[in-house]
Structures are given as structure tokens and as C-alpha cells.
Amino acid sequence: MTADLSFPPGFRWGVSTSAYQIEGAVAEGGRGPSTWDTFCAEPGKVLNGETGAVACDHYHRYAEDVALMRELGIDTYRFSFSWPRIQPDGTGPGNAAGLDFYDRLIDTLLGAGISPAPTLYHWDTPQPLEDAGGWLSRDITERFADYASVLAARFADRVPMWITINEPMVLTLMGYSLGAHAPGKELMFDALPVAHHQLLAHGRAVQALRAGGGVNIGIASNHAPTWAASDSAEDVEAAGLYDNLINWLFADPVLLGKYPAGYEAAMPGPVEDDLKVISTPLDWFGINHYSPVSVGAATGQADTAATDGIPLPPGLPFEPRALEGYERTDFGWPIVPAAFGEILRTFKDRYGDRLPPIYITENGCAINDVPVDGVVDDQRRIAYLDGYLRSLRSAIDDGVDVRGYFQWSLMDNFEWAAGYSQRFGLVHVDFETLERTPKASYHWLHDVIAKNRE
């Protein structure tokens, strides 16, 4: 299945993780509380009451995990800094123990021939900042720029690739609009300032990183095609509204310096001035992609797979519909490889020469196979990866400038409100013993990478 799966010379291969999902050690090394610690402590918020308090214990087992990466053959590791581990209160100088942990991780990666590609923010806001208004407050953009400066001062000499913010759409929608993720607010469209403040924080962080010597900077934004549920005018209009809200509200300001029509007036602050900061030129643009969404006019029959099972409130002008005729992951997401190439071509067509090179900063699937006689034979994940990588290659052949692919995820981890029920990893983790077992998909991807290095 790998014989003809080839990519251009210099194409980068990596895996992705995030701090709260794998690190554990939430009370060690001076780390302060995060919004996810608080959210997990609220009854009924996370499946089975599970938390990231231990997760994969990467904080203590990072050397073992780097060895797994080295054996896999990747050249880049995308991880995230834990903001409350670096700045327990969200302000001030860096916490020495937290900085030391990432020193050890980065040096171990470099010693294994793996380039670190850290993300500054993957949803774990320091709780004191949330108490002060969180992403609804403009002040957090200043705090984020200061945080970026702390990281640049410590790590710019060894980090060749930086990512500012992960999936600002998801924090806005799931965290502040629907309340399904931390901090659990249900503000609906009143959550739009959260989108603006994340984008402004991104732009300020780009500037702060560059001022501190950081190079090769991008963002990791999630995108997927929105397909109208039918050709009716009502469904086409509803799909367009959803597409703007989910996709272009978060990409247009960064790449074009403007919001989709109708959104600018809803944003706080001196928006025109802010957009100049938000659109600070990037070295590359990161796309996280999983599944397309079918959308139609509201009928009260929404399929909630697009919101991870969270029901949408009444009164919306659109609703996700079930995509029939496709296999689904164990999380219920439709498997549609062609959609991967489609969204990449859409970016090329929409942004033209305003689009920098692209990296795929996340792509993967929840396949919940477990060891049988010590072997995790996850053939469905292999089929998924094969199909999506072929779709990616077809987009490259059509002229889309994609420089690398980072698979989500290295190992099974804490999957937010779904707890430990969904396994996205190439490596199986036994959450009782924390034993790591590379899956069949790990060995398959190893062979793909090796063949592309011949």
C-alpha cells in the first residue's frame, strides 16, 4: 500500500500532541491551574469524570516518547507549551521549573535529530486569566504577547519553527459558544469577541516572537469543506453562512486582513487597526483537517457529529446534516479523503499569492482498537492514512504548496470532553499502566517515511 505513496524532496514528516492531553503532572514544577483543570473538576463535563491530571505522564516519560518518535523516523515534532506551566498566573517572568522541562524536551528532541515545532497555546488558559475575563477580554492579547516574548527569549536559539495558536475556531465555538469545552460558557454569537481576541493575540505573538529572534512562524487553524445538504436555495444559503462562520472568519483576517462580510461590525475594539496586526505576514499557514460537514437550513434534525455530539440550540439559521454513504471513525466523523484535497485547493483558489506555504499541522482519526496478544492491528487507521495522504498528494500535484504533514497523534491521549474514550494515536497507551505499544499504523507510517527518504 506504500509503494507509490511518494512526496516531493524535502517534504517534512511529523506528529502532533498538546500539553494538557499528554503531559499530566498538573501540580508539579510550579504549574498553575488551567481552565481545563477547572472544567474537568465540574461534574458531568467530561465523560466518566476523567481528567488530564496524569494523562500519558509525558512530563516524566518524555525521553521514552522521543525514542518512539526517533524510531518512527519523523523529522519534526509538534507539541505545545503549557501556558500555566510557563506562567502560572498568566503574567510575569517564566516559571523556572516549567522552562527547564521544555529545555530538557527540546534538547532531547534535537539530540534525536528531530526538529521541535512548539505551539504557544492549545486551549489551556491559566485560570487566573480566565477569572479576569479570559478570551472575552482584550487584555489577554497583551498577556499573550508577553508570554510569547518569554518563550522566544528562552528557546529561539533552538526552535526552528513556531506555531502561535491551535484552532481558534474550536475554542470560540466549543469553549465559549456551546459550553462543551473549557471554560464552559454558553454565549452563542456573543462569543464572537473570543475569535477576534485570539486572532489579535496571534498577530501580536508573531510580532513578539520575531522581535525575540523567532523564525518560521505560522498558525494551526482547522478547516474543512462545507457541503450544502441539497441544491435548494435555502440549503445553499445556510451552508454559506456556516462556511463563513467556521472557516473564513478565522482565515480571511489572517491572510487577507479583513473579515467576511457582516462580521467586522460584531467585533470589539479598533477593528481596522487590529486587522493590520492580525494579518502580520506569516512564513507558513497550518491547516488541521479531519472531515467535511454537510449543512442545510434548520429543520430541527441536526446531526451532531460535527459538534462531537453536542446538541445545537434552536434558532440557528443552519444545521449540520448527516453525510450518508461514508464510513465513520469511532468518534463518528465521516471518512472522506477527497475532502482533504478539496479544502487545500479551495485555499489556493481563495487566497492566491496571499497564501504562504502550507503545513498540515493535524490529520488523523479515532480508531479504538486495543492490543490483542500484544499487537494493535489498526488496519482501519492505515486505510484512513493511505487515503488521506493520497488526497494530499493529489493537491500537491495540482499546485498546492504543502511542505509537510504532521499526524494527529503520536499516542492515545486525553481527548477533551470525550475523556479517554477515543484513541487517535499511532502508539497505544494503557492508561492504567502507561505502557506504550506501537500500533500497526505506526509501523506502516514508518515505512512510508523511510521510502520517501530513499
Do the bridges between strand 436-438 and strand 115-121 make them parallel or antiparallel, or are there none, so unpaired? unpaired
Q: Is 415 annotated as a binding residue?
A: yes
> Residue 250 contacts by C-beta under 8 Å, 6 or more apart in sequence?
168, 169, 195, 199, 221
Contact between residue 423 and residue 369 where contact means Cβ atoms under 8 Å apart: yes
Residue 334 forms beta bridges with which residues?
Answer: 328
Which long-range contacts does 33-36 make (Cβ < 8 Å, 24+ apart)? Answer: 33/84, 33/126, 33/127, 34/82, 34/83, 34/84, 34/124, 34/125, 34/126, 34/127, 34/182, 35/123, 35/124, 35/125, 35/126, 35/127, 35/130, 35/134, 35/175, 35/182, 35/183, 36/123, 36/124, 36/182
167 tagged catalytic: yes
Q: Is 21 annotated as a binding residue?
A: yes
Q: Chain centroid to CA 94: how far?
A: 24
Residue 184: what are its φ and ψ, rounded to 5°?
Answer: 80, 30
Residue 294 forms beta bridges with which residues?
Answer: 227, 321
Q: Is 416 annotated as a binding residue?
A: yes
> Residue 30 contacts by C-beta under 8 Å, 6 or more apart in sequence?
85, 88, 95, 96, 97, 98
Given the residues 23, 130, 319, 362, the one annotated as active site: 362
Task: Identify residue 329 by its one-letter amino acid code.
Answer: T
Q: Is 13 annotated as a binding residue?
A: no
350 conformational bin, left if phi > 0, alpha if psi -120 to 50, beta if neither: alpha
362 tagged catalytic: yes
Given the residues 23, 130, 167, 319, the one annotated as active site: 167
Q: Is 408 annotated as a binding residue?
A: yes
- The Cα–Cα gap between 272 and 276 comes to 7
Give the containing element (helix H, strand E) for 15: strand 12-16
Q: Is 452 annotated as a binding residue?
A: no
Give the containing element (helix H, strand E) for 438: strand 436-438
Task: Check the CA dihedral 6-11-17-23 and report its sign.
Answer: positive
Q: Is 333 annotated as a binding residue?
A: no
Residue reference for cell 512526496? 7
Give the annotated binding-site residues. Answer: 21, 122, 166, 290, 408, 415-416
Give the annotated binding-site residues for substrate. Answer: 21, 122, 166, 290, 408, 415-416
As annotated, the active-site residues are: 167, 362
